[in-house]
Structure 1
Amino acid sequence: MQPNAPVPAGSPVGSPPGSGREIESLEEFDRVVTSGSLGGYRVQSVDLTARTAELAAVDTMEAVFLGCPMEPEAAAKVRAGGALVFPPVPFLPFNPYRAALYRPEELFEGLEKGYENTPDALAYAWFERTKSDGDIFASMLRSIHDDAVSDALDELLAGRRVVGVMGGHALERGSAGYAGAARLGRALARDGLTVATGGGPGAMEAANLGAYAAPLADTMLDEALALLAGVPHFTPSVAEWAAAAFAVRSAFPGGGSSVGIPTWFYGHEPPNAFASHIAKYFANATREDGLLARANAGVVFLPGAAGTVQEIFDNATPNYYQSRGEPTPMVLVNRAHWTRELPTWPLLEALAAGRPMAGRIALVDSVDEAPAALARLAAGPK
């Protein structure tokens, strides 16, 4: 099949033999190419500039190369062999075809020169310039990027029991609430759960910090909280705020893993450095829905404002309409907040009445009660 030639009737484009097989590293490429065929493979963000001879010799019918640098003659050959080639996009502050989630070190690279010079800040600046200019190419790049992030997130979480922790971004380091959220993250991680948060500051950072502390000595968390209290908020300086987190990680290496799922839609809120894997999106709606949908072991809602209230009912809706399987547990923390300050609990309780989700929601007074409540709900009625 020649490049750009019409697809013959009945051609299985979209579901070729081997469809869904992904190659995401040079090591994987070298292993697969020895078979003599890349047919049906998706090669994602692998630098192939030194693999021209291998590409010349291998079958590439219905292979797809996503953002793989290669020599021009190699690109021409694989196209002629029936492959689709999506070349790298120059001058972008991010890779739309990335094969893995972000690491904190990657997003904050160059922090010592100022946060505005980091990949995270540069991606936000690009988003701000392009989000409303009507350029279909920019919107396509955002969509491709977010889909690649979702794919990497699914691969990371496959087979894991994931618990979401939601809460306000304004919670300051040094506060009792921040310390409680950190203890919660640690307890959940020690229970064998993968902690997933919105990936930002405040309660989100605290829960990711707790998961980081889970495999370390109990005293580590108290010491880390004391160190972080010196920079309570990401304003006025994101650089100082992030540097304090990296200092804690340096002082206490070997922390546990967790996931942060932030968005450049709220780019004024930086991602936190305690989530080992960061699934950062341009589209906030995709991020919100994806975070809750992947929390298969339940969600703990700490005190928050409009965003947290929205997340509660975003999570309650599929539970309300659940017709197969079991609703996921929902634990709301702080009775006064959710019954008087923002009376969300009475409405949630009314929605749940008479439905299977009624046995999967709980309201507790303190954050330290949340892990036991989550486990009780997950076990179901006796």
Structure 2
Amino acid sequence: MLDAKMPEAWRVLRIQSELVDGIEQLIKLKGAVTVFGGARFEVGSRYYEMARELGGLLAEAGVPVITGGGPGIMEGANRGAYEREGASVGLNITLPREQDANPYQSISLSFRYFFVRKFLFIKNAVGFAILPGGFGTLDELFEALTLVQTEKVEPFPIVLLGKDYWQGLLKWMEESILANGCIDQEELSLFSVVDTPAEACDIFTRHLVSLATE
């Protein structure tokens, strides 16, 4: 929600303060994986537990976990990392509903502006894990694909978890976007689709090893 009564110049200063504070708080965080997914999945549901397992595996591998800090998939990933004493970061945002900060965070920040939060999702991450979710999750997925496609960031793994959930989207990409020449065949390789947290974790850890040897 915009600050309706705040003069434009002062709004810029608020944006700047969020950006500076976020960078300062996360300055020591390196080689993280950002996990996205829907806020509406309950504790114990298939995808919540998948996120929790992924968070735990990443923590065991020494990889920090970043999420949007809310419930559902975000809570699951934070919880998995937190339970294994890994770095568990939540970048929360003020929303009309759904977005209460989960308790499984070693670093918790709060934002008013989506674009500041999105910048910090990417700045400290070497990979994105995309679990089932709604419009917000799709927004993050396609923004990541666009940044890699346009070479605005160094290429990093974008991994979709849950083949059955994503198969309709993949079919549409092939039969509509690709068939109409809006993307090239090789651009479908900008992301991977896996069924287990272990497969996703393996992709991220192999990428980290490759970065260390460059």
Q: Normalising by structure 2, what TM-score?
A: 0.81
* Paired letter, 1:136: P
* Paired letter, 2:133: G
Give aligned pairs, total.
Answer: 203
Q: CA separation of 1:144/1:135 partners in 2, compared to 1, >3 Å: closer, same or farther?
A: closer
After superposition, the C-alpha distances for 1:88-130 in whole angstroms (9 at most, x for unaligned) are xxxxxxxxxxxxxxxxxxxxxxxxxxxxxxxxxxxxxxx7xxx
Structural RMSD (CA): 2.8
Q: Secondary structure at the match of 2:92?
A: coil
2:67 alignment counterpart:
197
* Paired letter, 2:160: L
5+ unaligned residues in a row in structure 2: which ranges?
Answer: none
Q: Secondary structure at the match of 1:172?
A: coil
* 1:140-289 alignment, distance < 5 Å: 140=10, 143-159=12-28, 160-215=30-85, 256-266=86-96, 268-287=98-117, 289=118
Q: Normalising by structure 1, what TM-score?
A: 0.48
Q: CA separation of 1:198/1:212 partners in 2, compared to 1, >3 Å: closer, same or farther?
A: same
Instruction: Quote the Cα distance in structure 2 between the aligned partners of 1:344 and 1:167.
Output: 17
2:196 alignment counterpart:
366
Q: Are residue 347 (structure 1) and residue 177 (structure 2) matched? A: no
* Paired letter, 2:107: H
* Paired letter, 2:162: N
Instruction: Quote the Cα distance in structure 2 between the aligned partners of 1:362 and 1:184.
Output: 16
Q: CA separation of 1:143/1:190 partners in 2, compared to 1, >3 Å: closer, same or farther?
A: farther
Task: Tell whether the 8 Å contact from 1:180 to 1:367 is kept in structure 2 after alignment.
Answer: yes
Q: CA separation of 1:169/1:274 partners in 2, compared to 1, >3 Å: closer, same or farther?
A: same
Which consecutive aligned stretches of 4+ in structure 1 deviate over 6 angstroms post-superposition?
none
After superposition, the C-alpha distances for 1:8-58 in whole angstroms (9 at most, x for unaligned) are xxxxxxxxxxxxxxxxxxxxxxxxxxxxxxxxxxxxxxxxxxxxxxxxxxx
1:69 alignment counterpart:
none
Task: Tell whether the 8 Å contact from 1:259 to 1:277 is kept in structure 2 after alignment.
Answer: yes
1:136 alignment counterpart:
7
Task: Tell whether the 8 Å contact from 1:166 to 1:197 is kept in structure 2 after alignment.
Answer: yes
Instruction: Give 1 or 2 for the bigger CA radius of gyration.
Output: 1
Partner of residue 166 from structure 2, selected from 338, 341, 344: 338
Residue 346 (structure 1) shift: 5.8
Q: Secondary structure at the match of 1:265?
A: coil
Instruction: Quote the Cα distance in structure 2 between the aligned partners of 1:266 and 1:198.
Output: 15
Percent identity over the alignment? Answer: 29
